[in-house]
Amino acid sequence: MPRDPDTPIHCGPRHVAIIMDGNGRWAQARGRPRLYGHHAGARRVREVVEACPGLGVKYLTIFAFLTENWKRTQVEVAGLMSLFRRYIIKETRALAERGVRVRFIGDRLRLDAKLIDLMDQLEEHTKTNDSVHLTIALNYGGRDEVARATRRLAQDVAAGKLAPLDVDEQTLPRYLDTHVLPDPDLVIRTSGEARISNFLLWQSAYSEYEFIDTLWPDFTAAELARLCHSFGARDRRYGAVRA
């Protein structure tokens, strides 16, 4: 759902997207295996979700597993998948009680059946909630998402449901995984890397970016608040000039 640039927004970001990077380095600095860092990172997610309502952040999208992350060792991939399963089981009640609506984006086909089941159940269990919309990108890649969307769009064209001339900037995003979400206002990447790594490629065309040095397991609600406040001071013109 692209933003209408003429619609006034409150001065903080309504939709924050986060590339949670640095778990591995955080663990290595402590002489621990990388998975130790991922577990510490998972604990940070709760604090950040809980901070959102107070900051006026209605949508939070977090990058949990990138399509390219399958290239990591089998031990790390299996550990992450097990962490996601455990996170869902452990956090379902707290998320539901706090009125959080959870959605998953990404390609589910490569995920194991048990995990997909848990994801479906969490989405179903929280589907009437509205305090924060938490979207977890799992086996997600921006290019992969655009390719899958284009495939579905092409199927609709072939079936005569859509005319080629009707394919435009409004039509294509309706086929994206994020079709019910507004575009992110602010994208944060932790750990000092200044790249977007295939995250929300279409949706972040007009997002503001913050690349910060903090490793994800050290990220706090206070840091999120600081970034949201500095976002409020930015002048967003969407390509126009100020009148």
Task: Please give the residue ranges that form the binding site for ligand FPP (CB under 6 A).
Answer: 20-25, 34, 38, 41-42, 45, 62, 64, 69, 83-84, 87, 136, 191, 216
As measured in angstroms, the least distance from the Cβ of 88 to ligand FPP is 8
As beta bridge partners, residue 19 has: 63, 189
116/104 Cα distance (integer angstroms): 10
CB-nearer residue toward ligand FPP: 71 or 242: 71
Using alpha carbons, list the distances in angstroms from residue 109 to 3, 47, 58, 112.
30, 30, 29, 8
As measured in angstroms, the least distance from the Cβ of 98 to ligand FPP is 15
As measured in angstroms, the least distance from the Cβ of 120 to ligand FPP is 16
Q: What is the DSSP letter of 68?
A: G
Candidates 4, 6, 21, 235; catalytic one: 21
CB-nearer residue toward ligand FPP: 12 or 24: 24
Candidates 4, 6, 23, 69; catalytic one: 69
CB-nearer residue toward ligand FPP: 76 or 208: 76
185 classed as catalytic: no
Q: 181 is written with which tokens? A: 């979400």
Q: 27 is written with which tokens? A: 């663990």
**171-189 CB burial, b ≥16 within 10 A, e <16:** ebbebbbbeebbbbbbbbb
As measured in angstroms, the least distance from the Cβ of 183 to ligand FPP is 21
CB-nearer residue toward ligand FPP: 14 or 72: 72
21 classed as catalytic: yes
Are 202 and 172 in contact, with CB atoms under 8 Å apart? yes
Q: Which residues have a catalytic role annotated?
A: 21, 69
